[in-house]
Each structure stands twice: as structure tokens, then as C-alpha cells.
Amino acid sequence: MNKTEFIAAVADKAGLSKVDTKKVVEAFVDTVSSELKQGGKVALLGFGAFSVSEKAARNGVNPKTKEPIHIPARKTVKFKAGAELSGLVK
């Protein structure tokens, strides 16, 4: 499901127009992105939690040349599914 299909599905379920639903989805994405950019966490009870995770620097191998390379430390976004969402997927 892509973003357009998601907006259409949510609009249908909520009984809203696609224009209003698009605004809501974009506001949700902007809000979550902003909070994660500040190093925060967004937890939606029953759905899951978005957080920032730190990955340590490490050594790797370039698969094309087989030469060792250094992979620098970085931050990444992590999503942990809530109990209700996990239960639906079983």
C-alpha cells in the first residue's frame, strides 16, 4: 500500500474527504518526524512506538571489492509494534 492508497483507505473508513485525510496524514508524519529529529519518542498505545536508536561505528567489507571499510556511527529510526498490532499479525 502506497501513500495515496493509504489516504484513500483512511478517508473511506473515517468518512472524510481525501483532501482532509491527506492533511491529517501529512500532519502526523511531520509531527513524528519533528519529535524524532529532536531525539524524542512517539508512543501510540496499542499500535507501537517510534524512537531514535544509535548504531555504533563498526568495520565492514565492501561486497564488490572485498576490501575492509569503516562504517561510521549513526542514528536510525526504530519502530516497535505494540501488543495489539503484534497480536493481529500472528
CATH of the domain at 89: 4.10.520.10
Q: Which domain holds residue 89?
A: 46-90
Distance CA 1, CA 12 (A): 15
Q: Are residues 65 and 88 in the same domain?
A: yes
Phi and psi torsions of 73, nearest 5°: -65, 150
Give pLDDT tens digits for 37-79: 999 999 999 999 999 999 999 999 999 999 999 999 999 999 9
Q: Are residues 52 and 90 in the same domain?
A: yes
Grid coordinates representing 21 are: 485525510
Q: Are residues 52 and 89 in the same domain?
A: yes
* Total structural domains within the chain: 2
Q: Read off the amino acid at residue 44.
A: L
Q: Are residues 56 and 29 in the same domain?
A: no
Distance CA 47, CA 81 (A): 6
Give pLDDT tens digits for 23-33: 999 999 999 99
90 versus 36: the higher-pLDDT residue is 36
